[in-house]
Chain A
Amino acid sequence: MSCLKISEIYAYLEHELSPEIQTKVEEHLAACPKCQRLLAERQAYLESIAGLPDFELPSDFTEQLMALLPEYKSPARGWLYLAGGLYLIYSLLIVTLAIRTKNPLFPACLEIFKHLFNLAADLSHFIFKLIQQVHGLIKALAIFLEVSGKLFSELLPSPGLVLFSFLLGLCLTMALFGVLIKPIKIKNRS
Chain B
Amino acid sequence: MNKQNLKMVENEDKALVQLCLKGEKKAFEKLVRKYQQPLANYFGRMVQERELSLDFTQEVFLKAYTALHTYNPKYQFSTWLFRIASNLLIDYWRKKKLPLTYIDANGEEEEQEPIQIPDRELPVSEQYEKKKMTEIIEQAIKQLPETLRELFVLRHINDFSYEEIASIKHLPVGTVKNRVFQAKELLRLQLEGK
Which A residues lie at the B interface, using CB under 8 A? 5-7, 10, 16, 37-38, 40-41, 44-55, 57-58, 61-62, 64-66, 68-70, 72, 127, 183-188
Contact = CB atoms under 8 A, between A and B. Distances in A.
A23 B157 CA distance: 28
Interface stretch (B35-43, B75-83, B101-109, B164-172): B35-43
Nearest to A7: B114
Given A6-B117, A44-B123, A49 B156 contact: yes
A188 B69 contact: no
Interface in B167-190: 177, 181, 184-185, 188
Chain B contact patch, size range: 35 or more
Nearest to B53: A55
A58 B123 CA distance: 35
A61 B36 CA distance: 9
Given A16-B162, A44-B125, A186 B137 contact: no
Contacts of B58: 61, 64-65, 68
Contacts of B54: 57-58, 61
A51 B119 contact: no
24 contacts: A6-B117, A6-B185, A16-B162, A38-B119, A41-B120, A41-B123, A44-B123, A48-B137, A55-B37, A55-B41, A57-B36, A61-B36, A61-B54, A61-B58, A65-B32, A66-B32, A68-B62, A69-B28, A69-B65, A72-B23, A127-B23, A183-B21, A184-B23, A188-B62
Contacts of B29: 62, 66
A37 to B, nearest CB: 7
Contact of B66 (A7, A37, A44, A188): A188
B25 A185 contact: no
Nearest to B191: A45
B124 interface: yes
B97 interface: no
Contacts of A45: 123-125, 184, 188, 191
